Amino acid sequence: MNTGKNRQFRLASRPVGDITPNNFEYREEPIPSPSDGEVLVRNIYLSLDPTNRIWMSDRPQYMPPVAIGQVMRGGGIGVVEESKHPNFHPGDLVSGLLGWQDYALALGNTGNGISKLPSPLPCPLTAFVGPLGATGITAYCGFLDIGQPQAGETVVVSAAAGAVGSVVGQIAKIKNCRVVGITSSDEKCRWLLEELGFDDAINYKTANLETALAQSCPDGIDIYFDNVGGAILDAVLTKINLHARIPLCGLISAYNATEPVPGPYNYSQILMQRAKIQGFIILDYLPRFPEAMQELGQWLNQGKIKYKLEIVEGLENAPSAILKLFDGNKIGKLAVKVADEPV
Ligand SMILES: NC(=O)c1ccc[n+]([C@@H]2O[C@H](COP(=O)([O-])OP(=O)(O)OC[C@H]3O[C@@H](n4cnc5c(N)ncnc54)[C@H](OP(=O)(O)O)[C@@H]3O)[C@@H](O)[C@H]2O)c1
């Protein structure tokens, strides 16, 4: 809906501990006009991601923090409304760091650039928020490149019912691995087992994790795709095999920490098992995005990858919706619907 104004959420203060809606300031600005080389995009879906919490802080990180007073940074999908760039035309669907607002001014190629989605779309637009978006590509690149899965190996993934974890587990099944997911509720465990084809799922809120891992992984753990760090990483380290690989994707258990977080107690197992732990940021893999999207798209169309989106209606609800990433109160990929999809 064109309201004639550009609703925005700007960063008002840096969170101390959990994010609160007061960390954002609501503003209404005029809809901007593109200058030469720029494109005006109307946002449709705003992706809510754990990294938003990192960007809100001023701790050392992989991109500049969002400045106080700046429009909150966020990935999204939108439609071009007006273009002064030769490669973009009104009606084009694009993705990029569009921000927490109705309208974004984007550069066509560099800086806060946008990328065109394929036309015609090979699948529903929502797939580009989910498995064909940044989180699916993160799963694909981190798991395949650092995990180096071999058929028959045992793979464990944490935050397994989330955007990245659910895709990691399904790719691991495609690669003929045994897959065990760790997540926070029986409902999420059922989704992993009954719909996504995981071999086992552990509710870390109710199980003794070390005991449950020993039962679920009788041959030990060859790959641990770490989305959370903390106590879950520590428990997994007690079960890793010789030459295990640990793609370190995220540390969400520490993002709201107000005190320094100690390293894993069982760190010695990295040495004893000659394991490899490697952090990565999806931006490292930009050249592989087309390959990842193509293969993920094929798996999606073959029904080998399934996904669930938790879509919160309305930009106005973004500041409260983001809390769902940290209280675990959602299944699959979290996003906000800012405007209707074009017909
Ligand atoms: N390296 C990269 O380039 C890259 C790219 C994308 C994402 N990531 C990272 O990957 C991880 C997953 O991201 P996502 O987008 O897929 O998010 P997500 O899994 O869809 O949502 C976050 C999930 O984290 C779990 N969680 C929250 N607080 C936790 C805690 N204290 N301890 C354990 N688990 C907790 C919850 O799942 P449960 O219900 O299972 O607890 C929650 O649903 C995050 O750490 C994120 O920062 C990294």
Give the C-alpha separation, 236 to 234, whole Å: 5
Query: Residue 109: its pLDDT value, please?
Result: 61
Is the CB of residue 305 less than 8 Å from the CB of residue 170? Answer: yes
pLDDT averaged over every residue in the chain: 96
Pocket residue to mutate for ligand 1, from 185, 225, 228, most atoms within 8 A of Cβ: 228
Task: Give per-residue pLDDT as tens, 165-177.
Answer: 999 999 999 999 9
Q: Is residue 297 part of a domain?
A: no
**Would 302 be classed as within a structural domain?**
no
**Which residues, at least 6 apart from 211, have a Cβ–Cβ distance to it below 8 Å?**
none
Residue 4's pLDDT band, with cuts at 50, 70 and 90, is confident
On whether both 112 and 159 belong to a single domain, the answer is: no
Asked if the structure places residue 26 within a domain, the reply is: yes
Residues 22-48: tens digit of each pLDDT: 999 999 999 999 999 999 999 999 999
Cβ 223 under 6 angstroms from ligand 1: no
* pLDDT beyond 90 at 185: yes
Read off the pLDDT band of 343 (50, 70, 90). confident
CA proximity to 232, closest of 157, 331, 165: 157
Percent pLDDT > 70 in the chain is 98
User: Domain of 26?
Assistant: 6-130+307-337
Residue at 193 is within a domain: yes
Any atom of ligand 1 within 6 Å of the Cβ of 23: no
Question: CATH number, domain at 121?
Answer: 3.90.180.10
Q: Is the CB of 281 under 6 A from ligand 1?
A: yes
pLDDT surpassing 80 at residue 207:
yes
- 183 pLDDT above the threshold of 90: yes
Nearest residue (by CA) to ligand 1, atom 32, is 253
Ligand 1 pocket residue status of 169, Cβ below 6 Å:
no
pLDDT in tens, 65-94: 999 999 999 999 999 999 999 999 999 999
pLDDT the model gives residue 155: 99
Q: Is the pLDDT of residue 231 over 80?
A: yes
SS3 category, 102: coil
**Residue range 178-203: mean pLDDT, rounded:** 98
Cβ count near 205 (within 10 Å): 11
pLDDT given for residue 24 in this prediction? 98
- Regarding whether 185 and 123 lie in a shared domain, the answer is no
pLDDT tens digits, one per residue of 298-332: 999 999 999 999 999 999 999 999 999 999 999 99
pLDDT at 59 over 90: yes
The pLDDT value recorded for residue 2 is: 55
224/320 same-domain check: no
